[in-house]
């Protein structure tokens, strides 16, 4: 007798979310067509029309102008283009502009290029402190700028933290920076479709978006760049995308991207309400039944689909694997480099001790999440934590 397949409970939507059927349909339709969007013949013009219609759809959903949407291979490239492009453009105009203001909770797609600029280009990184909820305070940004406004290159601050889900005061920070003529970049990868995002209203100069976080395909994203903001290109070649990002455009992916953005923005308010209810039920169920379990990040001003929880006397990796064995897929609050688990840089920046930073799990819900998923977590989390704690105590005994 063939066993019944186990249902997978997928709660790692912050890492990637399943493609929307409409996005798959749009992308596969164009995969069957041939045409380089830079070619002048009929097939090329048809491809160009698809790309430009996709650009217009994305721009309208984000309240930007179509010319401000620069397609990239994803969020990482968009962040690199923003940081390096702003750095070189600002330095070209004034060699004193060497200070980059950023928080210690940024995604590595922002942190690593910033560190690279410090190591190879002489950038001076200034780390904006965050409070215990993982939020940068606008007054601290002003204080950092006031030290020497003429030396600031730019500010970069994510809209929503990818680990703990705390929302950042990007609009207020952009307003402060504008008083000094300082550009602001925001990584909005986690925010699109979860909370309202209005590029023009935010007042930022550049904003990063990624398709696969909101139901679109992998391998495509965009940097939304204000029409008056200057960037030095990182890639050189055919001069596509306003000569800011050269490379043959992925026409099918732009079509899938546009559909995903349009759906995410259209359904945002309704979906946020649904996810918030499921998330709160998950958080209350776990913290109410598992001793020592605590929510990380802001309990209110956070992404609706994010539930980041820390567990006393447990290793996050152990919890993840034990849940995975039961068909529940989540992620940890730590990064694993070269096989060695390290505490999350986000949690350490928030003032967590090493143990709590290592003993965390991130549950993130999305458009396929259901009540049954939450029920499964609440059914299994207690026994999983008990087993992980027991394994941890055994390891301590052996080490002693």
| Catalytic positions | 336
Radius of gyration of the chain (CA): 22
203/305 Cα distance (integer angstroms): 26
What is the rounded distance in angstroms from the CA atom of residue 160 to the CA atom of residue 45? 38
Closest CA to 346 of 304, 299, 297, 397: 297
């Amino acid at each position: 007798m063939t066993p019944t397949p186990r249902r997978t409970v997928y709660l790692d939507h912050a890492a990637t979310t399943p493609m929307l059927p409409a996005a798959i349909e749009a992308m596969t339709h164009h995969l069957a067509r041939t045409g380089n969007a830079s070619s002048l013949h009929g097939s090329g013009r048809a491809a160009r029309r698809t790309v430009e219609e996709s650009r217009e759809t994305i721009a309208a959903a984000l309240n930007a102008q179509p010319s401000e949407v620069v397609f990239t291979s994803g969020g990482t490239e968009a962040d690199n283009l923003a940081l390096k492009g702003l750095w070189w453009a600002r330095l070209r105009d004034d060699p004193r502009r060497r200070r980059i203001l950023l928080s210690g909770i940024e995604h590595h797609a922002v942190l690593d290029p910033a560190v690279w600029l410090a190591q190879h280009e002489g950038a001076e990184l200034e780390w904006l402190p965050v409070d215990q909820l993982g939020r940068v305070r606008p007054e601290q940004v002003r204080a950092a700028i006031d030290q020497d406004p003429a030396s600031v290159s730019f500010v970069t601050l994510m809209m929503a933290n990818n680990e703990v889900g705390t929302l950042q005061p990007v609009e207020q920070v952009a307003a402060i920076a504008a008083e000094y003529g300082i550009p602001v970049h925001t990584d909005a990868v986690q925010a699109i479709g979860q909370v309202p995002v209005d590029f023009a209203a935010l007042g930022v100069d550049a904003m990063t978006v990624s398709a696969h976080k909101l139901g679109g395909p992998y391998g495509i994203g965009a940097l939304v760049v204000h029409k008056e903001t200057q960037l030095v290109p990182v890639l050189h070649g055919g001069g596509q995308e306003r000569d800011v990002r050269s490379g043959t455009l992925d026409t099918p992916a732009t079509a899938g991207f546009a559909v995903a953005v349009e759906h995410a923005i259209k359904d945002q308010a309704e979906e946020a309400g649904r996810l918030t209810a499921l998330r709160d039920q998950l958080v209350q169920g776990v913290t109410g039944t598992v001793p020592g379990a605590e929510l990380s990040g802001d309990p209110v001003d956070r992404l609706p689909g994010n539930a980041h929880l820390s567990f006393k006397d447990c290793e996050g990796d152990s919890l993840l694997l034990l849940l995975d064995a039961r068909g529940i897929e989540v992620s940890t609050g730590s990064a694993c480099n070269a096989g060695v688990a390290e505490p999350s840089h986000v949690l350490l920046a928030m003032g967590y001790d090493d143990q709590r930073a290592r003993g965390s799990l991130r549950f993130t819900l999305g458009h396929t999440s259901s009540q049954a998923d939450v029920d499964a977590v609440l059914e299994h989390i207690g026994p999983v934590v008990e087993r992980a704690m027991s394994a941890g105590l055994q390891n301590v005994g052996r080490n002693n």
